[in-house]
Amino acid sequence: MDILTLLRQHAGDYRCPVCRRPLADCRMRQLTHRGSQYTIEVTCRKCTMAFVVALEVQGGEGADSAVTASDTGELPPISADDLLEVHRALVGYHGPLTALLEPPGEREP
Ligand SMILES: [Zn+2]
């Protein structure tokens, strides 16, 4: 199953960290995919706040795959407070979010 389709099925269970509206109809865009790890840009349709979610899919492709956010065994789950911090940090940033994910040295001038 496509990762965005899988996420779409669960998006309504979560709320926008800024306006608290359910994210059922949010916009989603896949930024990176390495093995079982994905980063997805999620944009709230009401307040247009965008944030990046890191996911690891366990159990291979399929309807019963488990999707856990930041389930690396090293980091705690991403909280709404974490997302608000990112939102505040990016308030003055107008470039593409993907540029923030590229390692230094690989950025285009
Ligand atoms: Zn919102």
Residues 20-75 have pLDDT tens digits of: 999 999 999 999 999 989 999 999 999 999 999 898 887 654 444 455 544 444 55
Residue 41's domain comprises 3-101
With b for 16 or more beta-carbon neighbours within 10 A and e for fewer, the 67-97 pattern comes to beeeeeeeeeebeeeebeebeeebeeeeeeb
Ligand 1 centroid – CA 108 distance (Å): 31
Q: How far, in Å, is the centroid of ligand 1 from the Cα of 51?
A: 10
Token look-up 């974490």 returns 82
Q: Is residue 72 part of a domain?
A: yes
Give the single-character DSSP code of 96: -
Cα(69) to centroid(ligand 1), Å: 19
- pTM score, two decimals? 0.54
Q: Is 79 part of any domain?
A: yes
Say if 107 falls within a structural domain: no
User: Which amino acid type is present at position 69?
Assistant: A
70 C-alpha to center of ligand 1: Å?
22
Structural domains counted in the chain: 1
DSSP-derived secondary structure for 39-50: EEEEE-TTT--E
- Number of Cβ within 10 Å of residue 51's Cβ equals 21
Q: Does residue 49 form part of some domain?
A: yes
106 inside domain: no
